[in-house]
Structure 1
């Protein structure tokens, strides 16, 4: 290898190659966890250096062939730092997964709420209700359920009285009751209490 005679070209080439050389050394340290020291002298005797973990540690290691106490401490600190980074990355990954699950559940709840509002015409938010509004909302949900249960019991009594019951009394559910809107007397007005005890039906 011959030194360039043109000083201008020499300086430009040095600057360009020095940057690439330092970049390659940094990449080797990152990818291979290597300990590297690099010293570059310019034509004007200006010194450029690079070292990982630092240039003095690497030079002392090869000059004395005995690892210094400072180097051991630095290695311990570096190992601890890497362990902490690995643990933090694991926690971050788990948190991101949890956030994705929570976001998905939130989207599903939002979809269900919109569907509920579309069906029943309620366009208010439960989170913004006060205590009185929540009580009214609870009653509005319970009243239809109680009416359906009362109507089902009345139908059972009616079919039992006429002995034309088309289904089993023990399997009463909204899916197997022929729901019909009709005026049916209250249970206490139709039969005495002994009748309900006999048939395991309580008013």
Structure 2
């Protein structure tokens, strides 16, 4: 015979309700025992009947169910503290997010005004503050630009100085080379007579060499 699916509602018949309670209680206690043995889990089960009778099971052989209940209470307290900390941290992050959103909105508004947009919504004091801010920014920009110019000029002067030193050394080398060249003796051949009968006559001038032909 196929058993029908039991409807999940209160059994009105008291006798049937008591029989069902007894069967399912024993089955639940058996399942708790199997879970503790098979999975090495700490299991505590407490059951009160409609008449107030207590049924309990504890997987701890050396202690009563109170140990498991105390452990459960400590865990709940720790979770409560942890949840409170998470809630406080979440609230703090929300406040920081709102503050950052306001700062970003303020910066965007300032940027638009610096670009000359939406100035018709500004008061005279706001426009004066905006003008002062722009003047301070221009002063900083000019100071930075002048500093860069000075650095560039100093660098060019250093390069010019190096080039002048190189040019000076090259001129000194040219003068030294020319002086050395002038001091050398160079032989000069002087030919007398017709080309087919000319006789060389060696001379020693002081500065340059040449060939002279006399027919």
Q: TM-score range by the shorter chain?
A: 0.3 to 0.5
**Greater per-residue strand proportion:** 2
Question: Looking at CA atoms only, which structure, 1 or 2, has the larger radius of gyration?
Answer: 2
Q: TM-score scaled by structure 2? A: 0.33
Q: TM-score scaled by structure 1? A: 0.35
